Structure 1
């Protein structure tokens, strides 16, 4: 019997690893504002969808409202975290956000469009890294 929840558990584990990494970075650098956003919704107590959605929303808000306090390394970690969380919840992944499996919704739409001999559903700008 196939365990359909295994990819979800692995993704939640990766999200937790990313949060731990961000927590350690922000504690070391004493960045209180990003820590406040993170600690508002982390640590996760399982793969509860509302908790994962809260985490993705909080990290998206941090990216939107406190962009000056985030380094490039933190941006890449947060993009993967947000993309993975949105993928689990079933929401559209923000442009430029990486996902746990490396395949976002934009890639899926492009693959489906090409299989049906349609015009691709995404443009190059949808795939490039950009602001969240």
Structure 2
């Protein structure tokens, strides 16, 4: 018997939420490592505002979505191609799951 938790966003099986969270954390970790390697202080400051993800609450996802969207909006020229790809991938995953007010 599968247990489901009810959230405002959607009814999602617990294992799917854990997989989603782990996948997002993996993508964010790769992005963080790239920022560290390049010593991209501004990008690191943005990233540290919303990551690491420690829970699967919608507010956590919204904060990460808004933070990375702001990073791309205001500092996209400072991102390399890999970072642009990773942020686009993360934002896409977040937008598919999170509704913004």
Q: Same fold (TM over 0.5)?
A: yes
Quick one: which of 15, 19, 23 aligns to 2:24? 15
CA RMSD of aligned residues (A): 1.3
Contact 1:8 1:88 in 2 (8 A): no
- TM-score by length of structure 1 reads 0.64
Separation of aligned partners in 2, 1:41 and 1:81: 13
Within the alignment, does 1:52 sit opposite 2:61 as a pair?
A: yes
Within the alignment, does 1:2 sit opposite 2:24 as a pair?
A: no
Within the alignment, does 1:38 sit opposite 2:16 as a pair?
A: no
Structure 1 segments, 4+ long, off by >6 Å, are: none
1 or 2, which has the higher helix percentage? 2
Separation of aligned partners in 1, 2:45 and 2:2: 39
Q: How many residues align?
A: 91
- TM-score by length of structure 2 reads 0.82
Which residue does the alignment assign to 2:84? Answer: 75
* Structure 1 residue 76 displacement after superposition: 1.0
Separation of aligned partners in 1, 2:93 and 2:18: 11
Structure 2: runs of 5+ lacking an equivalent = 4-12
Contact 1:26 1:35 in 2 (8 A): yes
Structure of higher RCO (CA pairs closer than 8 Å, 6+ residues apart): 2
Contact 1:16 1:44 in 2 (8 A): yes
Structure 1: runs of 5+ lacking an equivalent = 92-132
